[in-house]
Structure 1
Amino acid sequence: MISIIIPAYNEENRLPYYLDSILQYLEQKKRIYEILVVDDGSTDATAAVVKRFMALNANVKLIRLPRNRGKGFAVKTGMRQAVGRLRLFADADGATPIEELERLERSIEAGADVAIGSRALLSDACSVKARMHRKLIGAVFNTIVRTMAVRGIRDTQCGFKLFTAGAAARIFSLQQLDGFGFDVEILCIAKRNGLYISEIPINWRDVKGGKIRLIRDSVSMLFDVIRIRINELRNKYAIERMGTLQGEPRK
């Protein structure tokens, strides 16, 4: 069974198209699945949109947060309520086609505990369509991240990441950041605890309507990276080896 977690904040316009494409794909593949949309305190009709899908498909579930807590908190909430053997979080904008899940699953099958989509790795089989200023700021930020927090990963921020149940249980129990910097933190936690991360090139396109404020949020994420580094030095990301209900993550 696979759980798909979609964090959503005021996504009444973009979410329906992506949800529909996910459902069509999973039904066509005859997958056993659940889709958890975490409404992060939306003030628009995001919840109503999800409820319409729920009326047609019992595998779609809505988790409503009483107020906006941040993407990181929404993803953590979904991951900790999910029951799937594999758990994917995907951005509500649909920038990454759901078909890219197959690339990530192949890495999990090959032994990875965490498989992440990457817009930075080049592949003849994949296309990344992003505006130039986003590419530039993303490249600068990822250089800082690789220097200060997570070495060896080219793209920490892509919103398409797949976890085994065991890896998710460990990682998200230690996550402390609620904002956009959480991507860096969960990868740092994974590395700190010896989990195998596989970075996979994927197809991705920039979708209008994004809520990231490039300058302001980039500065905020930089402070988050500093917090992550401090937490790591204080040994806040260590976890004793223990079993989980879903089983041990692979090494």
Structure 2
Amino acid sequence: MRNGKQFASNLWDDPVRDAVEIDVSERDLNGLKLLGVQRGKAIFFSQTECLSPPSVRKLGVNVIVIENLFDKKLDRNPVEKVVMPTKKVVMYARDSSPLIHISGFCMWQFYTLDTETMNFREELIFNAWKHRPPRVSHICGVRNGQITVMGTTWTGGRALISAPLPIAWTGKKKSGAQKNSEKDKIIEELVDNVEKLQSEMKEKTSNSLEGPSCVICLDRVPNIVFFDCMHVAVCEECFKAASRNSSLNNCPNCRKSIKKSSKVFF
């Protein structure tokens, strides 16, 4: 509490610099449990007794409330399920990712919330009736697409479990360096193809008094290249006229479908 205002922060954060202001009243927070802070938002949890689906809502500007998480334990008959509300919840979140991974104490599955879209991913459920794995008691961390959890075994012992997450759960995106590298490769291929076309056109022109002509007007020099076949068959004027009525869908030389086109300067 500072200057009459409430603040929240993670245990590992600076309580002054990294604290988030709780911009709602004490009445609005009644019955809510603080799970932690992520990306400038205080994450709270609320569990009701009704069997409504998991949901998420915003309070004020800086507060997110997660509600109604259930333990879906598969019985020996995989069609039957035992659904129980959970009131003890653990959360794993880092500011580097919009994803929040949540599990109840001794639950059979965990939930993943995307705080950018405010939607839950499909929950991941452990197959309890087949392999009898430990129940999840704590999420230790997520790194390189692997999640590590602490589990409680049937005999009361502890087990450390690590498993790969589906790509949709990791939130991985291509880095800027990877994107730039792919763009550079595409540009290099286009430059090579254009240079090859220029060489071929010069050779054809030198072997003919008039040089190549547009296959449509039979007059102007062709300068539109088609992809992926890389044929130069029409002039810019005829290409624009044909494109207006969609009559030029295939290359006049090889009849392959035209995916892209570009003007080439010879």
Bigger proportion of residues as strand: 2
Same fold (TM over 0.5): no
Larger Rg belongs to = 2
TM-score normalized by structure 1? 0.25
Bigger proportion of residues as helix: 1
